[in-house]
Structure 1
Amino acid sequence: MTLLEATNISHSFDYPLFDDVNIKLHAQESIAVVGVSGSGKSTLLHILSTLLAPKQGSVKLFGQEIYTKNTQKQLLHIRRYKIGIVFQSHYLFKGFSAKENIEVSSLLVNHPIDEEIIKAFGIERVLEKRVTELSGGEQQRVSIARVLTKRPKILFADEPTGNLDKKTAGAVMDVLFHYVQDNDAALFLVTHDLQLAQSCSKVYRLEDLRLKSLQ
């Protein structure tokens, strides 16, 4: 089942970023996009995840064109209940504990906190700590756990293991891949790490304005 389809996507700011990007993401599939800083990876993720309308082209989520047929309120509903976005900046509530940050998502969608994910991410011992007391890697894992609590059908992740050591990064990615398979979901991630990217179903490189398949 196709969960996401982008057709002839082009975007620019004061300079062109990419042109004529086409991509499909299916249930139980993971796609990684690699590229140098400034190549447009994060911008592409923002476009595919309802945050930024492209200059040209069409983006469909769950079979529906999202930018021409939805109001901002409807796009917010999609972000809140159907997809999850992991940002490089974690956007945790700094005055809350780690557990309270995760509970925000849990209460919003009426899903219980998944204790297995908490243990797999190794954050059970920091749940009562405030965000300001957490390391960057701990904040990153709390942020991902918060997103997975919503049980999104598509998970968008921008450098999801950027602050993690190799062993912890591997454990986090294992959780994400199992989540995708167990929930008929899909993962779209952007990263500088080619080795990490190659663990995904498909890998693309964004360079010279084009999205090029690597595997």
Structure 2
Amino acid sequence: MSKIIVITGASSGIGAATARRAVAAGHKVVLGARSQAKLAALVAELGADKAQAVACDVTDLASQQGLFDAALAAHGRIDAVFANAGIGATAMGTENGDPENFRQMIDVNIYGLTLTAKLALPVLRQSRGVLLLTGSLAGQEVLPGSVYGATKWFVRGYGENLRAELKGTGARVTVINPGMVDTPFFDTPKPEGLRPDDIARAVLYVLDQPASVAIPVMNVYPTPPLA
């Protein structure tokens, strides 16, 4: 059955790849991101009958509310929410890091994520849908002094807490932990990394599962190079 999927951080990288794969699978997407121009180009590519764009700052509750209101106004329900918006570090570690970048990562990767979840939970209770959170390999291992890694450790724990909050409702939560992905997230190409579509296929795999199946965590890492 065709699903209605809301995606944050949808204008490029993993979010855009997920939108493309979702539409190819017959679903409809509502796309949120700050870049109106990139969103408009993606909607033109996917088709206005299959994709809808809403300019959205995930750190602003009213802005995110507009994203969810637009999805419900257009479709009457939401079957899945992919909380994918995130930003990375501009320098390694804490001592060498930029405090303004610390604030931005905490605002987007943590606070923005909690706002998405707050708005997603009531609609996903109704649809018995799925909330997907973009975690990271950085939240599975220790990276010295990494504030970014700490934000992803938050995602790891928060996913567990959300599953407890939704227990018995039929709604499910999945944390997807990518390893390195070759996206605009990095300043330089990462040819040894995953492709954004690799993570998009993982998202669609989760969404293809029957209501009786929950996937709490999915780790998707690059295959190590041959020796």
Question: TM-score band, normalised by the shorter chain?
Answer: 0.3 to 0.5
The higher relative CO (CA closer than 8 Å, separation ≥ 6) is in 1
Q: TM (normalized to structure 1)? A: 0.35
Whichever structure has more helix as a proportion of its residues is 2
Which one has a larger percent strand, Structure 1 or Structure 2?
Answer: 1
TM-score by length of 2: 0.34
